[in-house]
Amino acid sequence: LEAALQYAGGGQFIVPLHNIRADGLCTCSKRLTCGKSAGKHPRIPTGEKHLGAASRDPDQLATWWRKWPQANVGIVTGLASGIAVVDIDGAEGRATLERLATEVGPLPVTEAVISGRAGGGLHLYYRISRPAPENDGDGLDIRGDGGLVVAPPSRHASGAVYKVVEPQREIADLPEAWLEYFANRGSTRESATRE
């Protein structure tokens, strides 16, 4: 709840997510079959772009976390919350980022979160002032409008806890060149939750 309130105080819309039980399974009804979504999908109906029931209201957040005190924290990404998250998945994502740094330009240093993904995962948070795409590919994805990201101190199915790398680091602006790159790149998904 403390983390959810902090994110909401920063202007981000919050959704309570299912969490991982002591036996390593998701608290959702699918448990054995939710796979990569374990601990990452909303406990409430979120509707279009996850904004249907998402909230920044402290009273609503307190109600949710009283009901589900172990709930993982989901942040709605995109223009509504003013952020996009670049998701670097393992070695493939790091290689893609390195290649694109020379083609698109380097990404600015910003708030970073270590995810629980096996093989390593990193979420880079960026401020946006216009709609951002929701786009996946080559281990380097972006969570933007229509997306949702699992936030610290949530627990991953691997047992690892999402952690901010340097808590005092500011969230930088996502460069226009990167917004354009993601907007024009291959596959997009309407709605997603990332590791």
pLDDT tens track for 14-68 = 999 999 988 888 998 887 778 778 899 899 887 666 677 899 999 999 999 999 9
- Model confidence at 175, pLDDT cuts 50, 70, 90, reads very high
The one-letter amino acid at 6: Q
Q: How far is the C-alpha of 137 from the C-alpha of 89, rounded, in Å?
A: 10
Q: How far is the C-alpha of 111 from the C-alpha of 132, rounded, in Å?
A: 18
Look at residues 136, 140, 131 and name the one whose alpha carbon lies nearest to residue 174: 131
- pLDDT > 70: what percent of the chain? 92
Look at residue 159 and tell me whether its pLDDT is greater than 80. Answer: yes
| Mean pLDDT of the residues in the chain | 89
* Residue 88 backbone class (left: φ over 0; alpha: ψ -120 to 50; beta: rest): beta
Average pLDDT over residues 155-172: 90
- pLDDT > 90: what percent of the chain? 66
- Model confidence at 186, pLDDT cuts 50, 70, 90, reads low
Q: How far is the C-alpha of 18 from the C-alpha of 25, rounded, in Å?
A: 10
Q: How far is the C-alpha of 129 from the C-alpha of 135, rounded, in Å?
A: 18
Average pLDDT over residues 156-171: 89
Look at residue 171 and tell me whether its pLDDT is greater than 80. Answer: yes
pLDDT at 50: 67
- Distances in whole angstroms, Cα of residue 81 to Cα of each of 52, 96, 99: 14, 27, 29
pLDDT at 191: 38
pLDDT at 96: 94
105-134 in b/e form (b: 16+ CB < 10 A) is eebeebbbbbbbbeeebbbbbbbbeeebbb
